[in-house]
């Protein structure tokens, strides 16, 4: 039986909590209280957005991003978090969520998407560069849209 795959923006405490088990695989240092406090503050003050890719009723992957303006990049989207559940990887879910953020950026007149990735995450670097066509710039990945 095929499970329906869809992406949904998460916008309230209950939905953010539903994403915590997946996000915790990336942000292992956060407990529930700190996680919720940071999301609420980031959403309110920085325009942070979170979206999840669902397999049926279960979250399989999560992305967090926010619009920013800097003198270096101008208007851009910063991807803060991108993680696929360890049991659901290599199915294109990370790509789908990153494309979701890119589409959001284009729809809101942002010209590029940028992110950083830990030096030890070489597999993620290959994903960003080879599959998603991001450029490595000062150890920050950048894709012009």
Residue 62's domain comprises 5-144
pLDDT digits (tens, 9 = 90+) for 16-68: 999 999 999 999 999 999 999 999 999 999 999 999 999 999 999 999 999 99
Structure tokens that stand for 88 in this block: 């659901």
- Spacing of C-alpha 71 from chain mean position: 23
Number of structural domains the chain divides into: 1
What is the number of residues in the chain?
145
List phi, psi (to 5°) of 35.
-55, -50
Question: What CATH number corresponds to the domain at position 68?
Answer: 3.40.630.30
pLDDT in tens, 86-116: 999 889 999 999 999 999 999 999 999 998 8
Q: At what angle do helices 13-23 and 32-46 cross, to 10 degrees?
A: 120
Confirm if 81 and 117 have CB atoms less than 8 A apart: no
CA 1/CA 130 separation, integer angstroms: 32
Model pTM score: 0.88
Nearest alpha carbon to residue 137 among 107, 122, 117, 123 = 117
């Amino acid at each position: 039986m095929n499970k329906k795959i869809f992406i949904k923006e998460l916008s309230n405490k209950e939905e953010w909590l539903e994403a915590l088990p997946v996000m915790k695989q990336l942000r292992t240092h956060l407990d529930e209280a700190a996680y919720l406090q940071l999301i609420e503050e980031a959403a309110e003050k920085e325009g942070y957005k979170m979206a999840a890719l669902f397999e049926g009723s279960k979250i399989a992957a999560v992305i967090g991003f926010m619009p920013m303006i800097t003198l270096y990049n101008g208007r851009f989207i910063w991807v803060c978090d991108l993680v696929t559940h360890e049991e659901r990887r290599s199915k294109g879910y990370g790509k789908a969520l990153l494309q979701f953020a890119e589409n959001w950026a284009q729809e809101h007149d942002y010209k590029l998407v940028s992110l950083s990735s830990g030096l030890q995450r070489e597999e993620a670097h290959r994903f960003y560069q080879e599959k998603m066509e991001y450029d490595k710039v000062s150890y920050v990945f950048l894709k012009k849209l």
